[in-house]
Amino acid sequence: MIRRRTLLPLAAAAVLLIPAASAGASDFGTALSLAPKVSQEGFSLTVMANPWYSALLGENGELYFSGIVKLETTFQSATLLLDLGRSQVKLRPSPGISWEFGRMPFADESGFVASGLLDGARWTGSLGSLGASAGLFYTGLLNKKSAEIALTAADGADLLDADRFFAPPRLLAVLSGGLRNPPAFLSRLSAQAVGQFDLRGGSDTLHSQYLTLTAGIPAGDAFGFEASAAAALAEPSGSDPVFHAAGALQAAWDPPGALKDQAYLGLRAATGADGGFPNITSLEQGRVFTPGPSGLASARLGYKVRPSAVLGAEVQAVGFLRFAEGGPADAELDPGSDSAWLGAELYASLTWTPLSDLSVLAGTGIFLPASGGAFLPDTPARWLLSVAAVLSL
Amino acid sequence: MKRILAISILLAAAVLAAAQAAAPLAVIRQVAGTVEIKAPGRDWVPARAGAALTKDTLISTAFKSVAVISVGTSTLTVKPLTRLSLEEIARLEGSETVRLALLSGRVRAEVKPPAGGKTDFTVKSPTATASVRGTGFDQDPVNLDVDDGNVEFTGPDGLPVQVGAGQSSTVGEDGGAVPPKDMPDQALSPPPPAGLDGSILSFVQGLVDNSGASWGTVDLRFNPWVGAPID
pLDDT in tens, A10-48: 555 555 555 555 445 677 889 999 999 998 888 989 999
The closest CB to that of B199, out of A56, A94, A117, belongs to A117
- Which helix or strand (DSSP H or E) is residue B82 part of? none
pLDDT value at position A80? 86
Residue A51 has pLDDT above 60, yes or no: yes
**pLDDT at residue A165 is higher than 70:** yes
Query: Across the interface, do B230 and A362 touch by the CB < 8 Å criterion?
Result: no
- Assess contact for A101 and A87: CB atoms under 8 A: no
**Residue A25 covered by a domain:** yes
Of residues B192 and A113, more confidence is placed in A113
The percent of residues in chain A predicted with pLDDT above 90, rounded, is: 42
Asked whether residue A244 carries a pLDDT value surpassing 90, the answer given is yes
Residue A17 in any domain: the answer is yes
pLDDT computed for residue A250 by the predictor: 92
Assess if residue A353 is contained within a domain. no
Question: pLDDT tens digit string along A74-85?
Answer: 888 888 888 899
**Residue A10, in any domain of the structure:** yes
User: Which range, of A15-29, B83-97, B127-141, averages the lowest pLDDT?
Assistant: A15-29
Q: pLDDT value at position A6?
A: 45
Q: Is the pLDDT of residue B149 over 90?
A: no
Which chain A positions have a beta carbon within 8 Å of B171's beta carbon? 95-96
pLDDT at B21: 46
Q: Is the pLDDT of residue A58 over 60?
A: yes
Reported as a single tens digit per residue, the pLDDT across A115-129 is: 989 999 999 887 777
Gyration radius of chain B over CA positions: 25
pLDDT-based confidence at residue A371 (cuts at 50, 70, 90)? low
Q: Name the residue facing A35 among B155, B207, B210 (closest C-beta).
A: B207
Q: pTM of whole model > 0.90?
A: no
* Pairwise CA distance, residues A1 & B222, whole Å: 29
Cβ contacts of B189 on chain A, cutoff 8 Å: 304, 306, 312, 351
Does residue A59 lie in a domain region?
yes
Contact B63, A26 (CB under 8 A): yes
CA-CA-CA-CA torsion sign (A11, A14, A16, A19): negative
Structure confidence at residue B213 as a pLDDT band (50, 70, 90): very low
Q: With 90 as the cut, is the pLDDT of residue A62 above it?
A: no
What confidence score (pLDDT) does residue A299 get? Answer: 95
Within a domain: A163: no
Q: Which domain holds residue A50?
A: 1-85
The enclosing H or E element of B5 equals: helix B2-22
Question: For position A173, what pLDDT does the model report?
Answer: 97
Nearest to A153 among B199, B203, B227 (CB): B227
What pLDDT score was predicted for residue B22? 47
Alpha carbon B198 to chain centroid distance?
Answer: 20
The per-residue pLDDT for A11 is 52
Taking CB atoms and an 8 Å cut-off, how many pairs form between chains A and B? Answer: 239
What pLDDT is attached to residue B227? Answer: 31
Strand extents, DSSP E, B54-159: 58-61, 66-71, 74-78, 83-92, 95-104, 107-110, 119-124, 129-132, 136-139, 143-148, 151-154
Kindly determine whether residue A359 and residue B211, on different chains, have CB atoms separated by under 8 Å.
Answer: no
Average pLDDT, chain B: 73
Contacts of A346 (CB under 8 A, 6+ apart): A315, A316, A317, A365, A366
Nearest CA in chain B to A148: B215
* Interface contact flag, B207 A236, Cβ < 8 Å: no
| Residue scoring higher pLDDT (B180 or A307) | A307
Nearest residue to A367 via CA among A41, A35, A36, A34:
A41
Does a structural domain hold residue A351? no
Q: A147 or B14: whose pLDDT is higher?
A: A147
Does the residue A165 lie in any domain?
no
Mean pLDDT of A156-165: 83
Q: Are B70 and B50 in contact (CB under 8 A)?
A: no
User: A276 Cβ partners below 8 Å, 6+ apart?
Assistant: A244, A270, A294, A295, A325, A326, B221
CB A20 within 8 A of CB A12: no
pLDDT tens, residue by residue, A313-357: 999 999 999 998 878 888 888 888 888 899 999 999 999 988 878
- Answer yes or no: do B203 and A50 touch at CB < 8 A: yes
Domain count, chain A: 1
